[in-house]
Amino acid sequence: QVQLVESGGGLVQPGGSLRLSCTASGLIFSRHNMGWFRQAPGEEREFVAVVARSGGTTYSGDSVKGRFTISRDNAKNTVYLQMSSLTPEDTAVYYCAAGWFGGALRSQYDYWGHGTQVTVSS
């Protein structure tokens, strides 16, 4: 069974940094693009970033460009999201996803984690 498990969420002050991790099992990790999405209460799930199979190509949403960095370690079956210069608008549940054709659209992903809460507040 495929499982994606996020970790690293928590409470952080504005301007702070946080690194999220997502570890996958039950699939051939290196054959999938890996993406991060986020969802705040009452809002739709929003694309954050995606990294290609080898880790050499990345794409990020406009709202996080220059602040968030996505990366992966195929030897550890893990994808990361390094977040900096955090603001209260970044508060959301963050989800990782795996997909053969994964891009900026939710429909392009086959598997999803259950999410980890990130709260930016003083």
Average pLDDT over residues 50-65: 95
* pLDDT for the residue 85: 98
Contacts of 16 (CB under 8 A, 6+ apart): 84, 86, 120
* pLDDT for the residue 29: 97
CB of 120 within 8 A of CB of 10?
A: no
Mean of pLDDT over the chain: 97
Confidence of residue 9 (pLDDT cuts 50, 70, 90): very high
Whose CA is closest to 112, among 94, 97, 93?
Answer: 97
Q: In whole angstroms, what is the distance from residue 121 CA to residue 96 CA? A: 23
Task: Give the model confidence (pLDDT) of 15-51 as tens digits.
Answer: 999 999 999 999 999 999 999 999 999 999 999 999 9
